[in-house]
Structure 1
């Protein structure tokens, strides 16, 4: 089984359901759990276990199970570490309400966590949404050849919630272009068409983000979206 750990309980699981249906092999058994708080809180909780400097001794599944059960969430109850073959964690960077001093400290923690959670088959593989999950909507009509050039500043996010910024900027006013049909009354033909559209849009986003990463790292986008 593969464990997927999300920060939020609304958008992330809905998006994952589409990704699972479109891209994951049928034989994969995913377990989805929601931590329900930001990455910095998770970091501080894990540090309490005093195993953070020793990858071989950390048991991410058991630690998460304890943390979730303490909050009344039993999704991992009965799950043993040996049941899980891979662990993926998805959290927001979520920096806009922090002071500069807090930001420096948070960045140090993130660097440490990225070094620690760098292997999905052991402690887990950590991915961070910048600045948050809503960035997936920060695009014009897909495919968007200008995607690599879009930026947002910390000051913008402080003065206006990034959720509102992305809503105003985006060509898409919801996440429907990435989601599958959940209407049981919809015809199979319409469901198939929606799946095809969602798959194409996800593939555009993958290529665009690879291109943007290349542009940030080496100054050019060779993906030709």
Structure 2
């Protein structure tokens, strides 16, 4: 069976930087192939709206920016497909019902792919000024708040450059984001006792933040992906908590 994994990113730069550093410490037993959709998750929705039989790999391969990267591959070359997109609630075509549909549609990595959402954007990984108060960190999500600038000005100095993270940095980030995931879904800021689905996370974001005051609980998808990939006990062992 193939050990190749296809990562589909919303953008071409930041996600790539994260992955290149991350695979120094995790996932290095696999071959990771990366490509970018170069548009929002809501554009993906438009593509699949009238085609339940849409083949995710074909959709990606047909996009100009991926033709060279994927030219020697077909769908059978990849055991798993993972998609990483931003919430992008301020996008003019953003729609929470559409996102729920997408999370239900892309829910299996060995088939059409599994979708992971960053709240509000991929830069949420480093949006920590103090680990002690990360639990309550939220931002406006239905307007353009120049989130990248906010993160750059407020994150810890040691988190600014994602290309040089050390293993110890990842340990702290993974624990913080998994604790936050558990807080959003179960009201306990502690390490989860089991896996939590992307749909469950989104529904709790809706109930506790989005529909209440148009905010989002800051949360990054990469630690959650690792939690799903390795399982609760193994990731706990890998980050030594």
Common fold by TM > 0.5: yes
* Secondary structure at 1:200 match in 2: helix
Pair 1:86 & 2:80 matched: yes
Pair 1:65 & 2:54 matched: no
* 1:107 match: 96
Q: Please tell me whether the aligned partners of residues 60 and 66 of structure 2 are also in contact (alpha carbons under 8 angstroms).
A: no
CA RMSD of aligned residues (A): 2.3
* 2:146 match: 161
In the alignment, the residues of structure 1 paired with residue 20 and residue 180 of structure 2 have an alpha-carbon distance, to the nearest angstrom, of 25
In the alignment, the residues of structure 2 paired with residue 29 and residue 198 of structure 1 have an alpha-carbon distance, to the nearest angstrom, of 21
* 1:74 match: 68
Q: Please tell me whether the aligned partners of residues 167 and 173 of structure 1 are also in contact (alpha carbons under 8 angstroms).
A: no
* 2:39 match: 37
In the alignment, the residues of structure 1 paired with residue 116 and residue 163 of structure 2 have an alpha-carbon distance, to the nearest angstrom, of 21
Pair 1:145 & 2:128 matched: no
Q: Note closer, same or farther for the CA distance 1:72–1:64 as it changes in structure 2 (3 Å cut).
A: closer
Structure 2 segments unaligned to the other structure (5+ residues): 193-240
* Secondary structure at 1:109 match in 2: helix
Q: Number of paired residues?
A: 190
* Secondary structure at 2:44 match in 1: helix
Q: Note closer, same or farther for the CA distance 1:37–1:95 as it changes in structure 2 (3 Å cut).
A: same
Q: Please tell me whether the aligned partners of residues 82 and 113 of structure 2 are also in contact (alpha carbons under 8 angstroms).
A: yes
How far residue 85 of structure 1 moved from its aligned partner, in angstroms, is: 0.7
Q: Note closer, same or farther for the CA distance 1:216–1:174 as it changes in structure 2 (3 Å cut).
A: closer
How far residue 81 of structure 1 moved from its aligned partner, in angstroms, is: 1.1
In the alignment, the residues of structure 2 paired with residue 110 and residue 75 of structure 1 have an alpha-carbon distance, to the nearest angstrom, of 28
How far residue 47 of structure 1 moved from its aligned partner, in angstroms, is: 2.9
How far residue 117 of structure 1 moved from its aligned partner, in angstroms, is: 0.6
Aligned structure 1 segments of 4 or more residues deviating by more than 3 angstroms:
none
* 1:188 match: none
Mapping of residues 1-225 of structure 1, within 5 Å = 1-26=4-29, 28-48=30-50, 50=51, 52=52, 57-66=53-62, 68-69=63-64, 73-98=67-92, 102-103=93-94, 106-140=95-129, 144-154=131-141, 157-158=143-144, 160-172=145-157, 175-176=160-161, 178-180=162-164, 198-223=166-191
* Secondary structure at 1:44 match in 2: helix
Structure 1 segments unaligned to the other structure (5+ residues): 181-196
Q: Please tell me whether the aligned partners of residues 179 and 198 of structure 1 are also in contact (alpha carbons under 8 angstroms).
A: no
In the alignment, the residues of structure 1 paired with residue 139 and residue 69 of structure 2 have an alpha-carbon distance, to the nearest angstrom, of 36
How far residue 31 of structure 1 moved from its aligned partner, in angstroms, is: 0.8
* Secondary structure at 2:117 match in 1: strand
How far residue 174 of structure 1 moved from its aligned partner, in angstroms, is: 6.3
In the alignment, the residues of structure 1 paired with residue 27 and residue 141 of structure 2 have an alpha-carbon distance, to the nearest angstrom, of 35
How far residue 173 of structure 1 moved from its aligned partner, in angstroms, is: 7.7
How far residue 72 of structure 1 moved from its aligned partner, in angstroms, is: 7.0
Q: Please tell me whether the aligned partners of residues 93 and 129 of structure 1 are also in contact (alpha carbons under 8 angstroms).
A: yes
How far residue 166 of structure 1 moved from its aligned partner, in angstroms, is: 1.3
